[in-house]
A = this chain, B = another copy of it.
Protein backbone atom coordinates (compact mmCIF):
# COMPACT_ATOMS: atom_id res chain seq x y z
CA UNK A 1 0.00 0.00 0.00
CA UNK A 2 1.39 3.42 -0.97
CA UNK A 3 1.65 5.74 1.98
CA UNK A 4 0.80 8.73 -0.26
CA UNK A 5 -1.69 7.26 -2.73
CA UNK A 6 -3.89 4.46 -3.97
CA UNK A 7 -3.00 0.81 -4.26
CA UNK A 8 0.24 -1.04 -4.69
CA UNK A 9 3.66 0.52 -5.24
CA UNK A 10 4.54 0.13 -8.90
CA UNK A 11 0.96 0.30 -10.19
CA UNK A 12 -0.15 3.62 -11.63
CA UNK A 13 -2.31 5.25 -14.27
CA UNK A 14 -0.81 6.40 -17.54
CA UNK A 15 -2.15 8.57 -20.35
CA UNK A 16 0.50 7.37 -22.78
CA UNK A 17 -1.77 4.78 -24.48
CA UNK A 18 -4.88 7.03 -24.46
CA UNK A 19 -4.47 9.57 -27.23
CA UNK A 20 -7.73 11.38 -26.49
CA UNK A 21 -7.11 12.14 -22.85
CA UNK A 22 -4.47 14.89 -23.04
CA UNK A 23 -6.52 17.16 -25.33
CA UNK A 24 -9.69 16.41 -23.34
CA UNK A 25 -8.16 17.54 -20.04
CA UNK A 26 -6.42 20.48 -21.67
CA UNK A 27 -9.78 21.65 -23.00
CA UNK A 28 -11.78 21.18 -19.80
CA UNK A 29 -9.26 21.88 -17.03
CA UNK A 30 -6.69 23.93 -18.94
CA UNK A 31 -3.98 21.58 -17.69
CA UNK A 32 -1.41 19.81 -19.85
CA UNK A 33 -1.02 16.33 -18.38
CA UNK A 34 1.98 15.62 -20.60
CA UNK A 35 4.28 15.53 -17.62
CA UNK A 36 4.10 15.52 -13.82
CA UNK A 37 4.56 18.89 -12.12
CA UNK A 38 4.22 17.80 -8.51
CA UNK A 39 5.26 14.86 -6.36
CA UNK A 40 4.83 13.63 -2.78
CA UNK A 41 7.67 14.54 -0.44
CA UNK A 42 10.21 11.79 0.00
CA UNK A 43 9.45 9.37 2.82
CA UNK A 44 12.85 10.09 4.39
CA UNK A 45 11.91 13.73 4.75
CA UNK A 46 8.85 13.03 6.90
CA UNK A 47 9.21 14.12 10.52
CA UNK A 48 7.91 11.29 12.69
CA UNK A 49 7.50 11.85 16.42
CA UNK A 50 8.72 8.84 18.42
CA UNK A 51 5.96 6.44 19.45
CA UNK A 52 4.55 7.10 22.89
CA UNK A 53 3.26 4.01 24.68
CA UNK A 54 1.92 3.81 28.22
CA UNK A 55 4.15 1.79 30.54
CA UNK A 56 3.65 -1.93 30.01
CA UNK A 57 1.47 -1.53 26.88
CA UNK A 58 4.13 -2.72 24.42
CA UNK A 59 4.74 -5.80 26.55
CA UNK A 60 1.02 -6.51 26.95
CA UNK A 61 0.48 -6.22 23.17
CA UNK A 62 3.44 -8.48 22.49
CA UNK A 63 2.01 -10.99 24.94
CA UNK A 64 -1.32 -10.74 23.11
CA UNK A 65 -0.15 -11.27 19.51
CA UNK A 66 3.55 -12.19 19.67
CA UNK A 67 6.55 -9.88 19.29
CA UNK A 68 6.73 -10.18 15.50
CA UNK A 69 3.20 -8.83 15.10
CA UNK A 70 3.75 -5.61 17.01
CA UNK A 71 5.36 -2.83 14.99
CA UNK A 72 6.32 0.78 15.51
CA UNK A 73 8.22 0.92 12.20
CA UNK A 74 7.91 4.34 10.52
CA UNK A 75 6.28 3.01 7.33
CA UNK A 76 3.75 0.97 9.32
CA UNK A 77 2.84 3.98 11.41
CA UNK A 78 2.44 6.31 8.40
CA UNK A 79 0.42 3.85 6.29
CA UNK A 80 -1.92 3.17 9.21
CA UNK A 81 -2.43 6.83 10.10
CA UNK A 82 -5.09 7.63 7.52
CA UNK A 83 -7.34 6.33 4.77
CA UNK A 84 -7.44 7.38 1.13
CA UNK A 85 -9.76 10.33 0.92
CA UNK A 86 -8.61 13.25 -1.22
CA UNK A 87 -8.11 15.19 2.01
CA UNK A 88 -5.89 12.38 3.33
CA UNK A 89 -3.80 12.19 0.15
CA UNK A 90 -3.25 15.92 -0.28
CA UNK A 91 -1.95 16.15 3.28
CA UNK A 92 0.17 13.01 3.08
CA UNK A 93 1.79 14.18 -0.17
CA UNK A 94 2.96 17.41 1.41
CA UNK A 95 4.33 15.68 4.51
CA UNK A 96 1.48 16.63 6.86
CA UNK A 97 1.07 13.13 8.26
CA UNK A 98 -1.22 13.87 11.22
CA UNK A 99 -1.39 12.06 14.55
CA UNK A 100 0.33 8.75 13.78
CA UNK A 101 -0.59 5.59 15.64
CA UNK A 102 2.08 4.71 18.16
CA UNK A 103 1.95 1.05 17.39
CA UNK A 104 0.47 -1.31 14.82
CA UNK A 105 -0.59 -4.76 15.99
CA UNK A 106 -1.63 -7.69 13.82
CA UNK A 107 -3.72 -10.25 15.72
CA UNK A 108 -3.90 -13.73 14.20
CA UNK A 109 -7.13 -14.94 15.80
CA UNK A 110 -10.32 -13.71 17.41
CA UNK A 111 -8.83 -14.53 20.82
CA UNK A 112 -5.85 -12.32 19.97
CA UNK A 113 -8.17 -9.47 18.94
CA UNK A 114 -9.84 -9.75 22.33
CA UNK A 115 -6.46 -9.84 24.08
CA UNK A 116 -5.34 -6.70 22.21
CA UNK A 117 -8.52 -4.93 23.28
CA UNK A 118 -8.02 -5.94 26.92
CA UNK A 119 -4.41 -4.74 26.86
CA UNK A 120 -5.43 -1.40 25.31
CA UNK A 121 -8.27 -0.92 27.82
CA UNK A 122 -5.97 -1.67 30.75
CA UNK A 123 -3.54 1.00 29.49
CA UNK A 124 -6.31 3.51 28.62
CA UNK A 125 -5.12 3.45 25.01
CA UNK A 126 -7.09 4.37 21.87
CA UNK A 127 -7.91 1.47 19.52
CA UNK A 128 -8.48 2.01 15.79
CA UNK A 129 -9.42 -1.05 13.70
CA UNK A 130 -7.70 -1.15 10.28
CA UNK A 131 -8.84 -3.26 7.31
CA UNK A 132 -7.61 -2.31 3.85
CA UNK A 133 -6.80 1.29 4.72
CA UNK A 134 -8.98 2.73 1.95
CA UNK A 135 -11.48 4.45 4.26
CA UNK A 136 -12.59 7.88 3.02
CA UNK A 137 -14.53 9.11 6.04
CA UNK A 138 -11.59 9.93 8.33
CA UNK A 139 -12.31 6.97 10.62
CA UNK A 140 -8.69 5.77 10.69
CA UNK A 141 -7.22 9.03 11.96
CA UNK A 142 -6.75 9.92 15.63
CA UNK A 143 -7.36 13.57 16.63
CA UNK A 144 -4.23 15.71 16.42
CA UNK A 145 -4.23 16.36 20.16
CA UNK A 146 -4.79 12.75 21.25
CA UNK A 147 -2.60 12.30 24.35
CA UNK A 148 -3.31 8.60 24.98
CA UNK A 149 -1.40 5.90 23.14
CA UNK A 150 -2.98 5.08 19.76
CA UNK A 151 -3.07 1.40 18.75
CA UNK A 152 -3.87 0.56 15.13
CA UNK A 153 -5.26 -2.98 14.94
CA UNK A 154 -4.55 -4.35 11.45
CA UNK A 155 -6.85 -7.30 10.71
CA UNK A 156 -4.81 -8.44 7.70
CA UNK A 157 -3.86 -11.80 9.18
CA UNK A 158 -7.51 -12.74 9.66
CA UNK A 159 -8.04 -13.48 5.97
CA UNK A 160 -9.63 -16.91 5.87
CA UNK A 161 -12.97 -18.23 4.73
CA UNK A 162 -13.62 -20.33 7.84
CA UNK A 163 -16.51 -22.41 6.55
CA UNK A 164 -19.17 -22.61 3.88
CA UNK A 165 -22.63 -24.05 4.56
CA UNK A 166 -23.70 -25.06 1.04
CA UNK A 167 -27.27 -25.93 2.06
CA UNK A 168 -27.87 -22.56 3.70
CA UNK A 169 -25.71 -20.63 1.22
CA UNK A 170 -23.74 -18.76 3.87
CA UNK A 171 -20.03 -18.55 4.60
CA UNK A 172 -18.23 -17.55 7.76
CA UNK A 173 -15.34 -15.32 6.81
CA UNK A 174 -12.69 -13.55 8.85
CA UNK A 175 -12.99 -9.78 8.80
CA UNK A 176 -9.51 -9.06 7.42
CA UNK A 177 -10.02 -10.87 4.12
CA UNK A 178 -9.49 -8.53 1.14
CA UNK A 179 -11.93 -8.62 -1.75
CA UNK A 180 -9.81 -10.54 -4.27
CA UNK A 181 -8.56 -13.04 -1.69
CA UNK A 182 -12.06 -13.62 -0.37
CA UNK A 183 -13.52 -14.16 -3.84
CA UNK A 184 -10.63 -16.47 -4.76
CA UNK A 185 -11.27 -18.67 -1.73
CA UNK A 186 -15.00 -18.74 -2.39
CA UNK A 187 -14.65 -19.22 -6.17
CA UNK A 188 -12.38 -22.21 -5.57
CA UNK A 189 -15.39 -23.93 -4.04
CA UNK A 190 -17.86 -22.66 -6.62
CA UNK A 191 -19.25 -19.71 -4.64
CA UNK A 192 -19.21 -15.91 -4.76
CA UNK A 193 -20.13 -13.19 -2.27
CA UNK A 194 -21.00 -10.84 -5.12
CA UNK A 195 -19.84 -7.68 -3.35
CA UNK A 196 -17.74 -5.42 -5.55
CA UNK A 197 -17.28 -1.85 -4.26
CA UNK A 198 -14.90 0.40 -6.20
CA UNK A 199 -12.33 -0.22 -3.46
CA UNK A 200 -12.69 -4.01 -3.86
CA UNK A 201 -8.96 -4.69 -4.34
CA UNK A 202 -7.94 -2.65 -1.30
CA UNK A 203 -10.71 -3.18 1.23
CA UNK A 204 -11.82 -6.00 3.51
CA UNK A 205 -15.01 -7.71 4.55
CA UNK A 206 -14.78 -6.14 8.01
CA UNK A 207 -14.27 -2.74 6.41
CA UNK A 208 -17.28 -3.18 4.14
CA UNK A 209 -19.44 -4.03 7.15
CA UNK A 210 -18.04 -1.23 9.33
CA UNK A 211 -18.66 1.30 6.53
CA UNK A 212 -21.99 -0.16 5.29
CA UNK A 213 -20.71 -0.63 1.78
CA UNK A 214 -22.52 -0.96 -1.55
CA UNK A 215 -21.10 -2.55 -4.67
CA UNK A 216 -21.35 -2.60 -8.46
CA UNK A 217 -23.59 -5.67 -8.32
CA UNK A 218 -25.77 -4.63 -5.39
CA UNK A 219 -28.74 -4.69 -7.78
CA UNK A 220 -28.63 -8.47 -7.66
CA UNK A 221 -26.77 -9.35 -4.47
CA UNK A 222 -27.81 -6.47 -2.21
CA UNK A 223 -25.71 -4.07 -0.16
CA UNK A 224 -23.34 -5.52 2.44
CA UNK A 225 -26.12 -4.82 4.99
CA UNK A 226 -28.30 -7.33 3.13
CA UNK A 227 -25.49 -9.87 2.71
CA UNK A 228 -24.37 -9.88 6.35
CA UNK A 229 -26.30 -12.19 8.67
CA UNK A 230 -24.01 -13.08 11.57
CA UNK A 231 -21.33 -11.01 13.28
CA UNK A 232 -18.65 -11.54 15.89
CA UNK A 233 -17.40 -8.28 17.37
CA UNK A 234 -14.79 -7.85 20.11
CA UNK A 235 -16.08 -4.96 22.23
CA UNK A 236 -14.79 -3.40 25.45
CA UNK A 237 -17.67 -5.17 27.21
CA UNK A 238 -16.77 -8.57 25.75
CA UNK A 239 -17.53 -10.55 22.60
CA UNK A 240 -20.74 -9.51 20.85
CA UNK A 241 -22.20 -12.39 18.84
CA UNK A 242 -25.03 -11.77 16.37
CA UNK A 243 -26.22 -15.24 15.38
CA UNK A 244 -26.49 -15.91 11.63
CA UNK A 245 -30.23 -16.53 11.47
CA UNK A 246 -31.96 -16.05 8.09
CA UNK A 247 -34.11 -13.21 9.45
CA UNK A 248 -35.38 -11.90 12.76
CA UNK A 249 -38.71 -10.48 13.83
CA UNK A 250 -37.88 -9.27 17.32
CA UNK A 251 -36.47 -6.05 18.71
CA UNK A 252 -34.27 -3.30 17.34
CA UNK A 253 -31.52 -4.80 15.17
CA UNK A 254 -28.11 -5.07 16.83
CA UNK A 255 -26.74 -6.29 13.48
CA UNK A 256 -27.81 -2.97 11.95
CA UNK A 257 -26.09 -1.07 14.77
CA UNK A 258 -22.73 -2.67 13.98
CA UNK A 259 -23.21 -2.07 10.25
CA UNK A 260 -21.82 1.40 9.52
CA UNK A 261 -20.37 1.82 13.01
CA UNK A 262 -16.88 2.60 11.59
CA UNK A 263 -15.07 0.79 14.41
CA UNK A 264 -16.74 2.74 17.21
CA UNK A 265 -18.43 -0.24 18.88
CA UNK A 266 -15.60 -2.73 18.64
CA UNK A 267 -13.51 -4.80 16.26
CA UNK A 268 -15.38 -7.07 13.88
CA UNK A 269 -13.47 -10.36 13.84
CA UNK A 270 -15.65 -12.41 11.50
CA UNK A 271 -19.02 -12.39 9.78
CA UNK A 272 -21.42 -14.90 8.30
CA UNK A 273 -22.49 -13.71 4.87
CA UNK A 274 -24.76 -14.83 2.04
CA UNK A 275 -22.96 -16.58 -0.80
CA UNK A 276 -24.26 -17.57 -4.21
CA UNK A 277 -23.18 -20.24 -6.67
CA UNK A 278 -20.92 -18.68 -9.33
CA UNK A 279 -23.26 -18.12 -12.27
CA UNK A 280 -23.14 -20.34 -15.35
CA UNK A 281 -23.25 -17.30 -17.59
CA UNK A 282 -22.17 -13.72 -17.00
CA UNK A 283 -22.21 -10.88 -19.50
CA UNK A 284 -22.08 -7.09 -19.34
CA UNK A 285 -23.53 -5.31 -22.36
CA UNK A 286 -22.97 -1.74 -23.47
CA UNK A 287 -25.90 0.52 -24.38
CA UNK A 288 -26.26 4.08 -25.64
CA UNK A 289 -29.12 6.43 -24.79
CA UNK A 290 -30.03 9.72 -26.47
CA UNK A 291 -30.11 11.71 -23.21
CA UNK A 292 -29.61 11.59 -19.46
CA UNK A 293 -33.33 11.83 -18.74
CA UNK A 294 -34.04 8.94 -21.12
CA UNK A 295 -31.32 6.92 -19.37
CA UNK A 296 -32.77 7.52 -15.92
CA UNK A 297 -36.25 6.63 -17.10
CA UNK A 298 -34.94 3.40 -18.63
CA UNK A 299 -33.11 2.40 -15.43
CA UNK A 300 -36.25 3.16 -13.42
CA UNK A 301 -38.37 0.97 -15.68
CA UNK A 302 -35.83 -1.85 -15.53
CA UNK A 303 -35.89 -1.72 -11.72
CA UNK A 304 -39.70 -1.82 -11.75
CA UNK A 305 -39.82 -4.70 -14.24
CA UNK A 306 -39.37 -8.45 -13.98
CA UNK A 307 -35.76 -8.63 -15.16
CA UNK A 308 -33.13 -8.91 -12.42
CA UNK A 309 -29.86 -7.63 -13.92
CA UNK A 310 -26.70 -7.73 -11.78
CA UNK A 311 -25.44 -4.33 -12.98
CA UNK A 312 -27.41 -1.24 -14.05
CA UNK A 313 -25.07 1.61 -14.70
CA UNK A 314 -25.31 4.68 -16.90
CA UNK A 315 -23.06 7.71 -17.30
CA UNK A 316 -24.22 11.26 -17.91
CA UNK A 317 -23.04 12.98 -21.13
CA UNK A 318 -19.97 14.43 -19.36
CA UNK A 319 -18.82 11.05 -18.07
CA UNK A 320 -19.64 9.46 -21.42
CA UNK A 321 -17.32 11.97 -23.14
CA UNK A 322 -14.66 11.26 -20.51
CA UNK A 323 -14.98 7.50 -21.16
CA UNK A 324 -14.47 8.04 -24.86
CA UNK A 325 -11.44 10.23 -24.11
CA UNK A 326 -9.81 7.48 -22.02
CA UNK A 327 -10.15 4.84 -24.77
CA UNK A 328 -6.89 3.22 -25.69
CA UNK A 329 -5.51 4.03 -29.15
CA UNK A 330 -7.39 1.60 -31.32
CA UNK A 331 -6.80 0.15 -34.77
CA UNK A 332 -7.88 1.98 -37.92
CA UNK A 333 -10.69 -0.56 -38.36
CA UNK A 334 -11.97 0.15 -34.83
CA UNK A 335 -11.87 3.87 -35.43
CA UNK A 336 -13.77 3.53 -38.70
CA UNK A 337 -16.40 1.29 -37.06
CA UNK A 338 -16.84 3.76 -34.26
CA UNK A 339 -17.19 6.61 -36.74
CA UNK A 340 -19.82 4.66 -38.68
CA UNK A 341 -21.78 4.08 -35.47
CA UNK A 342 -21.72 7.77 -34.59
CA UNK A 343 -22.88 8.70 -38.06
CA UNK A 344 -25.70 6.17 -37.82
CA UNK A 345 -26.77 7.50 -34.42
CA UNK A 346 -26.81 11.11 -35.68
CA UNK A 347 -28.44 10.61 -39.05
CA UNK A 348 -30.75 7.66 -38.48
CA UNK A 349 -31.59 7.96 -34.82
CA UNK A 350 -31.38 11.70 -34.40
CA UNK A 351 -28.90 11.51 -31.52
CA UNK A 352 -27.15 14.65 -30.31
CA UNK A 353 -23.69 13.14 -29.76
CA UNK A 354 -22.96 15.65 -27.00
CA UNK A 355 -26.02 14.51 -25.04
CA UNK A 356 -25.52 10.79 -25.52
CA UNK A 357 -25.13 8.51 -22.46
CA UNK A 358 -23.13 5.30 -22.16
CA UNK A 359 -24.62 2.50 -20.09
CA UNK A 360 -23.56 -0.95 -18.89
CA UNK A 361 -26.09 -3.57 -17.90
CA UNK A 362 -24.94 -6.91 -16.52
CA UNK A 363 -26.68 -10.27 -16.55
CA UNK A 364 -25.92 -13.41 -14.55
CA UNK A 365 -27.44 -16.86 -14.21
CA UNK A 366 -28.43 -19.76 -16.38
CA UNK A 367 -28.32 -19.33 -20.15
CA UNK A 368 -32.11 -19.24 -20.21
CA UNK A 369 -32.35 -16.67 -17.42
CA UNK A 370 -29.78 -14.39 -19.05
CA UNK A 371 -31.51 -14.65 -22.43
CA UNK A 372 -34.90 -13.83 -20.93
CA UNK A 373 -33.54 -10.86 -18.92
CA UNK A 374 -31.76 -9.50 -22.02
CA UNK A 375 -35.05 -9.61 -23.94
CA UNK A 376 -36.90 -7.81 -21.16
CA UNK A 377 -34.25 -5.11 -20.92
CA UNK A 378 -34.01 -4.72 -24.68
CA UNK A 379 -37.69 -3.76 -24.88
CA UNK A 380 -37.33 -1.13 -22.16
CA UNK A 381 -34.14 0.29 -23.69
CA UNK A 382 -35.81 0.58 -27.09
CA UNK A 383 -38.81 2.35 -25.55
CA UNK A 384 -36.45 5.06 -24.31
CA UNK A 385 -34.61 5.44 -27.62
CA UNK A 386 -31.53 3.48 -26.58
CA UNK A 387 -29.68 0.69 -28.33
CA UNK A 388 -27.27 -2.11 -27.46
CA UNK A 389 -23.67 -1.77 -28.65
CA UNK A 390 -22.65 -5.30 -27.72
CA UNK A 391 -20.38 -6.95 -25.20
CA UNK A 392 -17.04 -5.39 -26.20
CA UNK A 393 -17.33 -2.16 -24.17
CA UNK A 394 -18.77 -4.12 -21.24
CA UNK A 395 -15.82 -6.51 -21.17
CA UNK A 396 -13.46 -3.57 -21.17
CA UNK A 397 -15.38 -1.91 -18.36
CA UNK A 398 -15.38 -5.18 -16.40
CA UNK A 399 -11.59 -5.52 -16.70
CA UNK A 400 -10.84 -1.94 -15.74
CA UNK A 401 -13.52 -1.24 -13.17
CA UNK A 402 -11.21 -1.23 -10.13
CA UNK A 403 -8.49 0.95 -11.74
CA UNK A 404 -10.26 4.31 -11.57
CA UNK A 405 -8.83 5.40 -8.17
CA UNK A 406 -5.29 5.35 -9.62
CA UNK A 407 -6.16 8.30 -11.87
CA UNK A 408 -6.56 10.53 -8.81
CA UNK A 409 -2.85 10.19 -7.97
CA UNK A 410 -1.96 10.80 -11.63
CA UNK A 411 -3.93 14.05 -11.52
CA UNK A 412 -2.48 15.10 -8.14
CA UNK A 413 0.96 14.71 -9.77
CA UNK A 414 -0.26 17.34 -12.26
CA UNK A 415 -1.75 19.73 -9.73
CA UNK A 416 -5.36 18.67 -10.29
CA UNK A 417 -7.71 17.76 -7.43
CA UNK A 418 -10.29 15.07 -8.18
CA UNK A 419 -12.71 13.26 -5.92
CA UNK A 420 -16.04 11.48 -5.82
CA UNK A 421 -19.24 11.87 -3.84
CA UNK A 422 -22.31 9.68 -3.94
CA UNK A 423 -25.85 9.57 -2.68
CA UNK A 424 -28.99 7.60 -3.23
CA UNK A 425 -32.26 9.34 -4.04
CA UNK A 426 -35.78 8.29 -5.01
CA UNK A 427 -36.39 7.79 -8.74
CA UNK A 428 -38.71 10.78 -8.77
CA UNK A 429 -36.00 13.04 -7.28
CA UNK A 430 -32.94 11.78 -9.20
CA UNK A 431 -33.17 14.38 -11.96
CA UNK A 432 -33.46 17.23 -9.47
CA UNK A 433 -30.62 15.97 -7.28
CA UNK A 434 -28.47 15.67 -10.40
CA UNK A 435 -29.31 19.15 -11.66
CA UNK A 436 -28.73 20.73 -8.26
CA UNK A 437 -25.42 18.99 -7.57
CA UNK A 438 -23.91 19.70 -10.98
CA UNK A 439 -25.13 23.32 -10.86
CA UNK A 440 -23.64 23.75 -7.37
CA UNK A 441 -20.30 22.34 -8.53
CA UNK A 442 -20.19 24.61 -11.59
CA UNK A 443 -21.09 27.60 -9.44
CA UNK A 444 -18.26 26.65 -7.06
CA UNK A 445 -15.76 26.41 -9.93
CA UNK A 446 -16.94 29.79 -11.20
CA UNK A 447 -16.70 31.25 -7.70
CA UNK A 448 -13.07 30.14 -7.49
CA UNK A 449 -12.44 31.41 -10.99
CA UNK A 450 -11.00 28.07 -12.12
CA UNK A 451 -11.98 25.61 -14.82
CA UNK A 452 -13.59 22.50 -13.42
CA UNK A 453 -15.39 19.38 -14.54
CA UNK A 454 -18.18 17.42 -12.93
CA UNK A 455 -19.59 14.18 -14.23
CA UNK A 456 -21.89 11.51 -12.86
CA UNK A 457 -23.11 7.97 -13.26
CA UNK A 458 -25.99 6.06 -11.83
CA UNK A 459 -24.02 3.24 -10.22
CA UNK A 460 -26.73 0.84 -9.08
CA UNK A 461 -30.46 0.66 -8.52
CA UNK A 462 -32.84 -0.07 -5.67
CA UNK A 463 -36.59 -0.60 -5.53
CA UNK A 464 -37.40 3.05 -4.94
CA UNK A 465 -34.39 4.86 -6.37
CA UNK A 466 -30.77 4.67 -7.33
CA UNK A 467 -27.29 5.80 -6.38
CA UNK A 468 -25.79 8.81 -8.16
CA UNK A 469 -22.01 8.75 -8.17
CA UNK A 470 -20.46 12.17 -8.90
CA UNK A 471 -16.82 12.72 -9.88
CA UNK A 472 -15.33 16.21 -10.00
CA UNK A 473 -11.95 17.67 -10.88
CA UNK A 474 -10.43 21.13 -10.95
CA UNK A 475 -7.09 22.86 -10.81
CA UNK A 476 -7.05 24.93 -7.62
CA UNK A 477 -6.28 28.62 -7.88
CA UNK A 478 -2.78 29.58 -6.78
CA UNK A 479 -2.11 31.20 -3.43
CA UNK A 480 -4.98 29.56 -1.57
CA UNK A 481 -5.26 26.32 0.43
CA UNK A 482 -6.34 23.69 -2.13
CA UNK A 483 -8.41 21.66 0.37
CA UNK A 484 -10.42 24.72 1.34
CA UNK A 485 -11.13 25.38 -2.31
Contacts and interface: CB of A to CB of B under 8 A. Distances in A.
A109 interface: no
Interface string A239-251: 0000011111111
B249 A211 contact: yes
A424 B300 contact: no
Interface stretch (A9-17, A118-126, A255-263, A434-442): A255-263
Nearest to A251: B260
A464 B248 CA distance: 12
Interface stretch (A90-98, A163-171, A348-356, A397-405): A163-171
Contacts of A168: 426-429, 464-465
Copies in the complex: 2
A165 B249 contact: no
A462 interface: yes
Contacts of A463: 169, 246, 274
Contacts of A313: none
Interface residues of A, number: 52
Nearest to A253: B256
A466 interface: yes
Contact of A467 (B247, B462, B464): B247
Nearest to A423: B245
Contacts of A425: 245-246
Nearest to A305: B366
Interface string A349-372: 000000000000000011001001
A252 B277 CA distance: 30
A229 interface: yes
A419 interface: no
A212 interface: yes
A227 to B, nearest CB: 9
A304 interface: yes
Given A246-B426, A247-B424, A425-B246, A170 B464 contact: yes
A366 B304 CA distance: 13
Contacts of A426: 165, 167-168, 170, 244-246
Contacts of A260: 248-253
A134 interface: no
Contacts of A245: 424-426, 465
Contacts of A466: 246
Contact of A306 (B249, B255, B369, B429): B369
A103 to B, nearest CB: 28
A214 interface: yes
A406 to B, nearest CB: 23
Most chain B beta-carbon contacts within 10 A, residue among A168, A262, A427, A467? A168
Interface string A35-71: 0000000000000000000000000000000000000
Interface string A414-451: 00000000001111110000000000000000000000
A213 interface: yes
A424 to B, nearest CB: 5
Among all A-B residue pairs, the 5 with the closest Cβ atoms: A246-B465, A256-B256, A168-B426, A246-B462, A167-B428
Interface of A: 165, 167-170, 211-214, 223, 225, 229, 244-253, 255-262, 274, 277, 300, 304, 306, 308, 365-366, 369, 372, 424-429, 462-467
20 contacts: A165-B428, A165-B464, A168-B428, A168-B429, A169-B304, A213-B249, A223-B247, A244-B426, A245-B424, A245-B465, A246-B462, A248-B424, A249-B260, A252-B260, A252-B261, A253-B253, A253-B259, A306-B366, A306-B369, A308-B308
